[in-house]
Amino acid sequence: MRLNRTLKSPLSAILLLLLVTALTPQYTQAAPPPQGGICQNNALANPDFEEGFSVLDRSEVVVANGWNPWYKRNENIPGVNYIPEYKPEDKNVSGGTRIHSGNFAQKYFTVFATHTAGILQAATVPENSLVTFSIWVQVWTNDDDNTDASSKPGNYRISVGVDPTGGTDWSSENIQWSPRQIVYDRWVQLSITTKAQGNRVTVYTQGTPEFPVKHNDSYWDDACLSVETPPTPTAAPTNTRAPTNTPAPTNTPAPTNSPTITLTPVPPTVTSTPSTTPTETRTPVPTATPTLTQSPTSTNSPTTTPSITPIPSGTPLPTSTPLPTGTAAPPLMQLGQAVSTGQATGVLFAGLAVIVLAGMWLINRQP
């Protein structure tokens, strides 16, 4: 029994110590700022907040050059969405605990109030490029003045966003926001990647505490907007059909040279046009054949002696003109034709004999 009580007593003490430890709030010291990374091809102006600050809107709004403030205005609710104060965090004043690198960081905060606010910057980028915005941030939120830890925080949420259209309206639905995070008293890098819809994008930071505790502060440093130029689009390959078996080529005889057909113009046939002057045709003069006429004996009147018309010599006989087939030639022309062809020589001599006899008869008749 004593042994059990002895064992129980230390065990009870250990359990009690663990319970007390679990219930006691833990205070975390602010982590020292890590060394800033290298941002390749940073498209932002004054990304490290080392190039000076300027007063904008009002004296409480002092923003790093190249950046602009944005905030949701008060809706007449006490302690909700006050316009925060924007101030440079100077290493020479604060000691550098809340500076990520260099000598300055951007700070905005409210006292005993919440805010929905941040900073923004528009940048020119290649059209349709892939952009990544990142920035380091540290939050200190507390209901007392202990600057070493956020012992009584106001649920301060942080995020970053990019408007791929280049707009500057913080309430636009075009903005793509990173998930909200709650991280206190140490540096954390937030980032968001999206595709530009033109040649201009706008980057945003956002801080939104839920409760209006005494200190709702956030510190922002070493921003980066990296740009990845889109690759040149290549044409999609077309579906190529599988090649079919091609039969072996056969020997094709070489073509013979075909003669070139030359169209030679045919000269027109000369047609003899008959002359309008008729051809002179010699017509034979028929020879008069005397007819023997018996004179009456009772009349003593003298009888006229007919003269014999000699046949003119040297007058060529007309050549026979061929007559159309089937047409009978006149008797005189038949006689001439017979004479010309030598077929009736006897007829000619007989005719001459008759003429001579007729002449002699007429001479004898003269008194």
Write out pLDDT tens, residues 121-148. Answer: 999 999 999 999 999 999 999 999 999 8
The two tokens of residue 323 are 């007559």
- pLDDT for 176 equals 97
Task: Report the alpha-carbon distance of residue 334 to residue 91 in Å, rounded.
Answer: 160
Q: Domain map of the chain by residue range?
A: 31-228, 338-365
pLDDT in tens, 178-200: 999 999 999 999 999 999 999 99
Mean pLDDT, residues 267-291 taken together: 47
- pLDDT for 159 equals 98
pTM of the model: 0.56
CA distances from 229 to 107, 232, 247, 295, 362 (A): 32, 9, 50, 155, 152
Give which of 122, 137, 150 is closest to 180, Cα–Cα. Answer: 137
pLDDT above 70 for 155: yes
pLDDT in tens, 311-361: 444 444 444 444 444 444 444 455 445 445 455 556 677 778 888 888 887
More confident residue, 305 or 247: 247
Percent of the chain having pLDDT more than 70? 58
Give which of 49, 75, 50, 69 is closest to 121, Cα–Cα. Answer: 69
More confident residue, 344 or 218: 218
The two tokens of residue 357 are 């006899």
Q: Are 162 and 175 in contact (CB under 8 A)?
A: yes
Q: Are 206 and 160 in contact (CB under 8 A)?
A: yes
Instruction: Give the DSSP letter string of 209-228.
Output: ESS--SEEEEEEEEEEEEEE
Instruction: Give the DSSP letter string of 25-50.
Output: PP-PPPPPPPPPPP-TT--SSSTTS-
Give which of 156, 131, 159 is closest to 142, Cα–Cα. Answer: 156
Q: Domain 31-228's class?
A: mainly beta
pLDDT above 50 for 251: yes
